Structure formats: C-alpha cells, structure tokens
Structure 1
C-alpha cells in the first residue's frame, strides 16, 4: 500500500549527512561534546520543537505515507538507536519522496530520509551508515548547540530559526529568504563548528554502526563513492557540489573503521526490496526502458530484479505478470514488501477476502508492524468492515498516536459505521497532527453542537488540548 503526498520540497537544514562544511581541515581533533553542549535548550524543549516540526512537515506534505518503507526505515533506525548513547527522546524516521541524495536530522529525534538515498547506496550497511551519522548529530545535540550559537551572537532568536525552518517547508521561496540570515551566518562564521560536528558524527556514527552489527567500513565505502561523484553537474548531487567532502574526512572514516572487527555487509533482502521500490516509484525512471534492462540482464540481485519487475507490471495493471515475478520469491511470502504487493493486487482485483485471509495471521504475530496493520485496516475498509478496521487501528494508534495516516483511516472506519460524532473527533485529531487548526476546530465545533453525552465532553476536552498546541505554535511563529 502506498500513499504519497508530493509537493515541492525544501531541503531541510540541520546537520545534513552529505552537507558537510568539512573543507580540507588540518586540525582533526574532535572534542567530546555530548549532551552538555546545549545550555538553554532543555531536552523537553527540544522534543517540543521536534513535534512542532513534524506537524508542519505533515501539513506541508513532505512525508511520503508508504507504510512498508516506513517500517523498514524505522527498523534500521531503531536498531541503531538501541546501540547509541545519550538518547533522551524517541526517534522517528520518515520518508520523503525527494529523489535526491540526502538525509537530514532535526531537533527532538526527527530524521528525514530522502527516497534517493536508497538509489545511491548499494547495501543496507551503507544506508545504515547515513542514519548512524544523523542519529549522532541528534544525540550530540549539534543542532541545538548551533541554534544557541546563533542566538548568542545576536543574529537571530532560537524561535526565529525554528519558525523559519517550518516556514521553509510550507513555502519554500519565502522560507528560503527568511532563513537566509541564519544559514548565511552559519556558512560564514560556523565553518569550523560545523566541521567539528561532522567529524564527531562520523566518529560516533561508525561506533554505533559497529555496535548494531553492521559493517563499520560501510561509511568509508560510501564516502569514497561520494568523493568520486564530486564535480558531477547533476541536481541530484547538488549538496556535493556546494559542500564537498574533504580527503581528510574520507581518510578519517577509513582509519577509524579499520581498527574495528571486520564484518561483511548485510545480505538481508529487505534493503534490495526497498531499493527496488524506490527506483520504480520515486526516481522518475523511464519504466519501459528500466523493465527491458532488468529482463535482459542476469547481473542484478534476484530480490531487486523480481520485486522491481513485479512492481512495474502492477503499475501497468498486468496483475498476472506481476504475480509471476512474485512467485520467483516464494520463500518470502511473509515478508512485508511481498505481502504489501500481493495485497495491492488482491484489492485492485476485488479479492478483499483473499487479502484479509493472508494478513490476519501475520497481524496476530506483528500487530504494531505498520505495513501489516495499515494493509489489513485498508482491506477491512475496502470490504466495508469498519468495525474490524477500527479495532486494528485503535490498537496501533495507542503505540503510535502521531501517525496521521492511521488516524485518517480511523476516521473513515467511524464513517462506515455511521458514527459521525466519533468521526468528527478523530478527524480533529488528524488535522491537529497536520497543524490544520481551522479544520480541527470546525470538526470539534460540529461535534460539540450536534453530539450529546460523552461525545460532547470528549470534544470539549480535545478542543482545550488542541488549543494549547495551537497557542504553542503561534507563540513560536510570532517571535519569527
């Protein structure tokens, strides 16, 4: 299942993995900065800023709601987080449909992964090295310290920087202008600070990568690949053109990794499935030519090839041919990627009962797996079984209350049951997750005026809660 809201994307700031300002530095001593570096911004405040950012990101449509990709990205990310130090808040990894080579960290454990990152990495270890680097930027509180540094210099307030980032998401042109002051200041006066951050994130990231069981040499391998790309005049490599990797940084990554135990790259097929999915659905490739190349070569990973071809034929509505390629992966019938595509084929073919029968036993084993849960809920909704969808989604949302996609589906489940009052309340919660307060309050006002008893009381309580959230957002933005 895939739902992607595609809009113009503004490249997020904050410790880009590839956006290194590490010019050829001769002083490579990296201080242990840790959590003590952020003075005025408490962990709780940083977390609140992170949630604010996510509301703006959801509302602006930069998040691609692709449950199977979200599940994979978070499985890798959380594995790394478990092996990191100084983790003071939950991490959240999300996919952007942007095909460019990038990933970026933000306050409060929020990490954006561009779809293009899968296209340009060759294995899960290289991909994980990017996430390990971004995680390290957050655990070392590099972003919080940078924002405080600018505030200390009197250039721009903390609130202004945060609000500028959000504004950049909503309106890239205006946001870019609004942020130019702090971004320019960083470029002019923060080069050494940023360089140190990059080296520290490399060093700690390699350690996290190793502790999580990945090949610690993967970051060095990726660096060498990126280093060879420098000078390539291609918009996909814009960050490399603007912020080249230094030879010293590449060498440092290699020297750190070579002192750790050697380990082979992961052979888990999930990365190849994810890479194939990105290439077919996000990279704007000419699929007819891509299909022909895949069919005429044996020199490609079998998981990648068969899944990519199955996706292409599914997109062409040739479901029987898509199934042929899925059958070449018959040993993977319980895999999220395979189950997801089989489900899509069943639902498009009107075989909702087949989809539900396949998903139920998997759901009983993995009730919080977003790919399985969202697919099962969607199948129930397609078969007009709103009550069953409600039960699945409510359990999922207890653990992941900020999943606006699941919340939106829950609203639909109530509408199918003709429970208008609960639908209005749930819709308000969904809109609040996207910072769409006008629609949130419209739903709650409707509920308070038309619903009675407990529904009216719940609506009033939600109104108060969402009002507080709105006040927080507005105070932040007014400072800007």
Structure 2
C-alpha cells in the first residue's frame, strides 16, 4: 500500500473512539521536527487527491458567501498558528449531522448541521481551530511513524469508508467500526493525545484571534448534553472526536485562564446572517420559507431582519422572485452598510432577469470594496446575464488565476469564454473544472476538444498538449498506487 493510501486510512484511524481511559500527556514534537512519514508536498498532493474525490462524491455547498465566511474565520485563526502550508481550503457539506473533519494538506470540511448547531462565532471557531491544529501539527504524518504496527486489512477497510463516513453514510461508519474491532489500542492512544493537543493549541489560537475561548468547552458541553438526550448514542462529531471528562475539564480551565472569566459571548450579527443563509439555501425550501416567514414577524429588529433576509433567499431559491425582491429591497435600504443584504438583492435581481439593475448594484458595491472576490464573482455572473461576456471574461480570469483550485471559478470562466466565442480556451477552462471535480476522463475529453479547436495556433496547441500530458501522468500514477494497495 502506498504512502498516500496509508495516510488516508490513518485519517480514519485517528477518528476512531478510544477503547480505554485517558492517556497521560506526552511531550509532543515541535512543528519543525522531521517526525512524519510524509513530506509536506506529499501531504498537499494527498489532500488535493482527496478533494477531487470529495468534489465528486460529497454534496458540497458551493455558495460563495458561506465559503468566504468560513475562509475568513479560518485564516484569522491561521494567523495565530505555525502553518506548514500556504493555501488552505474550508468547505461546507450539505449534511444535517453535526460533524467536521481535517484532511492533510490544508483542507477542512464542515457539515451544515454543525454550522446550524453552533450558538455563536466562538463555538464555530473552536471547531475550525481544533481541525487546523490536526493539519498544522501533521498528526496524520506523525501517526504514520507508528504505522508498521498496523494490519493491512484493517487499513484497507478504513480507506473504503472514509468518504462515505465524511458524508454521514452508514456504510462508511460501519466500515470504520469493523476496522476498529481489530483492536489497535496503541494507535487509539495516540489519537487521544492528538485530540488533546488540538484542544490546547486550538484554544490558544482562538483567544489570540479575538474569539472567546469559552466557546470550545461550551460547544463540547452542548454536544455532550445533546448526545445524552439522544439516549447515549454519540453524534457524528463526538464519534470522530471522542470527548472525555478530562478533556472537557482541561478546556474549561484553559478558557478561564485565557479569558479571565466564565461568561459566554453572544453571536455576532454576521454569524447569525450566515446561519440564516445556510438554513435558507440548504434545508428543504418549503420548510425554510415557513421558518423565516415566522421570524420576519418578530418584534425584535435583528430577528426581523434575519427573517426577511432568509425569507428572501428561500423564495428566490424556489423561483418566486417578485416576493423575494419585496423582502430584500426594503431590507437593503434600511441597512445599506450590510453587504450581505445588498449581495442577496443583487443576486436575486440577476435571477429575476433584471441583469442591468444587478450590474449597477454590483458596481456600486465594488466601488466600496474593490478587492472583494464575492462582488467580482457576482458582477461577472450578472454581466453574463446582461450579454456582456467580454467584461465577464476579464473578471473570471482574475478570479480563476487568484484561486485556481476553486471549481466554480473555472466553470464561470468556461461559460464566459464560450459566450465570448473563445472556444478553445473555454474547453480548457472546462477541463480544469472537471479535473478539480474528480472527473478526469471528462477533463481529458475537454482538452482533446480544445486541441482540435486550437488548430492554427501552435503555441496554444502546445500548451494544451502539455496539460494533457500532466493530467494523464497523474491519472496513471494514481492507478499504479491504487493497484499496489490491493
């Protein structure tokens, strides 16, 4: 079995629940020590391969605003940490289970159920901080130093369940549970130690980034209480992040030392808006409409705003644009400095076919926030609706070059290039989209089409040939690694 296959199996291994009491603290190695079995470049490649599979098999919520919120929170925590990687990706999965997970190379997955379960920014930040420590302290690679003790059948079974488990699949959880039955207690002991380290370094980063460190023990206690109410059956997060009384007490003590108080912090308006957006866009649409209609009648001004915001988004999602605009237009006027409301109005205008009005609103917002990728993306889509494809191409190129691993930017660029008549380049961009989504044969097919469309342009054909060779080589390498693992 290759290093990469083994590391993915160990991702599941570190998530298994402990079989005996809390282990004594260890003096864990510093970030700079060469203790792991994978190099940083191998971890990054592993993460990219995992994300290709995740893009193909998990229900990822590709919403620009929610992604931006998670990323900003994540990078505020990363600024307080030692970071072995340059780029990190935070992504949201449409799944009601309360769960989150880390993948080597800088990838953090968060379920919508966890976002909706958190009560404030600090509770959500505590989860991101915890997962980031797993990545930055290279827990997977460090565990691989002990990997010779593991049995290959167990690792293969764990590997088979990783993606299903990440998506809440019962088959995946069963695969992992069956594998755990082999009883590798020594590795499980290391898992608890890594969980402990993730708590301690994560809570320090939270406090340094300005979040209330009490958010970590508050969220742990909240999940533990819910688990008891459910009859003792642990929820997803507690299954993959086993919580002991010692860990809970330790986080409470550390939070008290860092904050100097035991008080909770309330949620920020932005946190509440992002919760409302997630509920409006990811829960059953009729349920969301009913929920937000009720909140829009609240006597509390903020709750009424959130109700109008969520109701407008949910109505637009259902295609009821006139009623959606009736909610969002006055809302954006009464709170003109709240960019979430203006963005919602602009995207709804574009969806309703009022692309000229949408372009005007996006350009107004861009004057205030010229570097906002959110506004640039929205403007590019509105320009396409307004049949101004050349302007859309300029914005889409800027976005895709700044974040080339973002599938929706490549898809946007492909659409803009196609509408502007740049057929060869459109197929190249679409190839990158398919490649990032894990559909490698489709990526190869698009590059072959692009090569034919580029007839008469030797330089462009050479670039396409080079990319084809890269993708085919990567595909062949993965096939060899997979065959060795069998």
TM-score bracket relative to the smaller structure: 0.7 to 0.9
**Structure 1: unaligned runs, 5 residues or longer:** 1-11
Equivalent pairs, count: 469
Q: CA deviation at 1:237?
A: 2.9
- Please state whether the residue corresponding to 2:235 is helix, strand or coil: helix
* 1:87 corresponding residue in structure 2: 84
Deviations along 1:89-140, whole A, 9 cap, x unmatched? Answer: 4211111111211111011010001111121001111111110000011111
**Does residue 1:478 correspond to 2:476, yes or no?**
no
Contact 2:120–2:266 (CA under 8 A) maintained in structure 1? yes
* 2:311 corresponding residue in structure 1: 309
* 1:6 corresponding residue in structure 2: none
* 1:257 corresponding residue in structure 2: 255
Q: CA deviation at 1:46?
A: 0.6
* Residue of 205, 209, 212 corresponding to 1:208: 205
Q: CA deviation at 1:283?
A: 3.4
Contact 1:16–1:104 (CA under 8 A) maintained in structure 2? no
* 2:115 corresponding residue in structure 1: 118
- Please state whether the residue corresponding to 2:353 is helix, strand or coil: coil
Deviations along 1:182-225, whole A, 9 cap, x unmatched? Answer: 55557755332111111111111100101111111110111121
1:400–1:436 distance in 2 versus 1, CA, 3 Å? same
Could you tell which deviates more after superposition, 385-394 or 424-433? 424-433
* 2:27 corresponding residue in structure 1: 31
- Please state whether the residue corresponding to 2:295 is helix, strand or coil: helix
How do 1:262-273 residues align onto structure 2 when only pairs under 5 Å count? 262=260, 265=265, 268-273=268-273
Deviations along 1:5-30, whole A, 9 cap, x unmatched? Answer: xxxxxxx984899x673678454525
* 1:237 corresponding residue in structure 2: 235
Q: CA deviation at 1:34?
A: 3.6
* 1:65 corresponding residue in structure 2: 62
Q: CA deviation at 1:465?
A: 2.0
- Please state whether the residue corresponding to 1:108 is helix, strand or coil: coil
* 1:291 corresponding residue in structure 2: 292
* 1:462 corresponding residue in structure 2: 467
* 1:439 corresponding residue in structure 2: 442
Could you tell which deviates more after superposition, 263-272 or 135-144? 263-272
How do 1:382-421 residues align onto structure 2 when only pairs under 5 Å count? 382-421=385-424
1:421–1:184 distance in 2 versus 1, CA, 3 Å? farther
Distance 2:216 2:167 in 1: 33
1:240–1:177 distance in 2 versus 1, CA, 3 Å? closer
Could you tell which deviates more after superposition, 20-29 or 215-224? 20-29
* Residue of 38, 45, 48 corresponding to 1:48: 45
How do 1:362-401 residues align onto structure 2 when only pairs under 5 Å count? 362-363=365-366, 366=369, 369-401=372-404
- Please state whether the residue corresponding to 1:214 is helix, strand or coil: coil
1:265–1:167 distance in 2 versus 1, CA, 3 Å? closer
**Structure 2: unaligned runs, 5 residues or longer:** 1-8
1:172–1:221 distance in 2 versus 1, CA, 3 Å? closer
TM-score, normalised relative to structure 2: 0.85
Q: CA deviation at 1:349?
A: 2.5
- Please state whether the residue corresponding to 1:216 is helix, strand or coil: coil
Larger RCO of the pair (alpha carbons < 8 Å, separation 6+): 1
Distance 1:13 1:323 in 2: 52
1:473–1:62 distance in 2 versus 1, CA, 3 Å? farther
Contact 1:280–1:312 (CA under 8 A) maintained in structure 2? yes
Could you tell which deviates more after superposition, 141-150 or 400-409? 141-150
Contact 2:332–2:342 (CA under 8 A) maintained in structure 1? no
Contact 2:37–2:142 (CA under 8 A) maintained in structure 1? no
1:335–1:24 distance in 2 versus 1, CA, 3 Å? farther
* 1:141 corresponding residue in structure 2: 138
Distance 1:169 1:216 in 2: 27
1:462–1:166 distance in 2 versus 1, CA, 3 Å? farther
Q: CA deviation at 1:81?
A: 0.7
Aligned-residue CA RMSD (Å): 3.4
Deviations along 1:253-285, whole A, 9 cap, x unmatched? Answer: 100111113487365422111111122222347
Contact 1:407–1:427 (CA under 8 A) maintained in structure 2? yes
* 1:355 corresponding residue in structure 2: 358
Contact 2:17–2:241 (CA under 8 A) maintained in structure 1? yes
